Amino acid sequence: MKPSPLIRELAGIVGQSAVLWRPEDLMLYEYDGLSSLRQPDAVVFPRTTQEVIRIVKLAGRHKVPVVARGAGTGLSGGAVAAEGGVLVGFARMKEILEIDIENQRARVQPGVVNLDLSLAVSDDGYYFAPDPSSQKACTIGGNVAENSGGPHTLAYGVTTNHVLGLEVVLPDGEVIHTGAAYWDRPAYDLTGLFVGSEGTLGIITAITVRLSRKPEAVKTLLGIYDRILDATRTVAAITARGITPAALEMMDGFTLRAVEEATHAGYPMDCAAVLLIEVEGLAEAAEDAALEIEAVCRENHAREVRRARSAEERDLLWKGRKNAFGAIGRISPSYYVQDGVIPRTRLPEMLEFIGDVEKKYALHIGNIFHAGDGNLHPLILFDARDKDESARVLKAASEIITKCVDMGGSITGEHGVGIEKNELMPLIFSEDDLDMMRRIKSIFNPLGQFNPGKLLPTGKMCGELRVQVSTEGIL
């Protein structure tokens, strides 16, 4: 088998060792954390913006799609080549280009791993606040494309709240720079437009981000409950007191038992649910908030409220939470993770509904979510080799997401739309809304070359979507 003219030209840009084209190599890139569709025609690994420009222009001449890919940990099919073409992998564009501690910012290439940036500035007392559970593997470029969240979204916001500017390559090879190294630049917020656009408007080749100062004190609490409804009511009670924790996470008993067996993080095996709560700030304020939260937990029938007594205990509790998906992967051959959003005051009602869906379709569903901002992640366990069970999973997932919308929520909170939910966009947007989005896309990506079939409805239902087992924690 000989390489095609396209492959040979790509090798002329980046070198033969930076192009994959044999089927056995391309197999690894037909997947992300959710799905598999088809292989790309080629995978190419540029090192510079100039190489990306040449790749994009070459793909344009050959009239093939271009899909940007970070670490492939996404959960909505955003980084798979739905229509083949050239997949641009950013594993070699992983330099931290600049760290400016004085002005609390950094400039990075898109392949920089999320956690690596925090580690690079840790000794100076700073960190990068967005913290998806896959932060040890996921890249900042992918975070920007999906507008990723994480456990600390409640206090600090999602990725867009920490991005100051972008360098973007458009389909014709033009390079634009959005934003600035400071907040509130005048004119249109093009940075905000590109964050969360899932690679459908342009390919991001450099990112300027805001760095946050480490808090003086951090208090991590574990509320333990014998009834799951008491845990959900505690969430509403905490926010009703005007307290905004840095993180407010919940796991039901089924999920936490799987987590504890896998990580030995110290979670109790005999309870119905736990709340993992974190407050931070000045030492006195953090202590006052922790005491008030302890009181609210007990008022809502917490069996026990524990505090992490050391940084090691805190890290272990978070290790359990962030590795929860992997823990479920140990006990089920496959599972399908949801990403709906509801008003947090309706958590008790929603969990009751999920329980009814579980019984209706004879499935096992574990519940783990960012309770503080109502971002749910039900994990529907199944065996992908069982066609009937797989079909029931998709029906159950559809009912759960539809219920989220009926409650005034959203079809996604942080995992993106991709190919998983693009046909569900009419549930939350009018046809006029969607038409405006299409018009915006046509300005930047008029021929639909970049990441086709993603984000916006195509009229083709994703019946062929194959839900796969995921063994990474990638919330």
CATH number at residue 385: 3.30.70.2740
77 in a structural domain: no
Residues 162 and 193 in one domain: yes
pLDDT of residue 472: 35
171 in a structural domain: yes
pLDDT of residue 468: 40
431 in a structural domain: no
Q: 304-358, pLDDT tens digit by residue?
A: 999 999 999 999 999 999 999 889 989 999 999 999 999 999 999 999 999 999 9
282 in a structural domain: yes
pLDDT of residue 460: 62
Residues 231 and 174 in one domain: no
pLDDT of residue 466: 41
Residues 200 and 251 in one domain: no
Residues 206 and 226 in one domain: no
Q: Domain range holding 294?
A: 217-325
381 in a structural domain: yes
CA dihedral 288, 292, 294, 295 (to 10 degrees): 140
Residues 319 and 345 in one domain: no
**Cβ-based neighbour number of residue 177 at 10 Å:** 13
141 in a structural domain: yes
Number of domains in the chain: 3
- Residue segments in the chain with a per-residue pLDDT below the cut of 70: 35-36, 181-184, 460-475
Residues 309 and 359 in one domain: no
Residues 222 and 312 in one domain: yes
Q: Which of 195, 213, 231 is the last residue of a domain?
A: 213
Residues 127 and 229 in one domain: no
Residues 101 and 209 in one domain: yes
Q: Which of 176, 191, 213 is the last residue of a domain?
A: 213
Q: Which of 392, 414, 436 is the last residue of a domain?
A: 414
468 in a structural domain: no
pLDDT of residue 187: 85
User: 278: domain CATH number?
Assistant: 3.30.70.2190
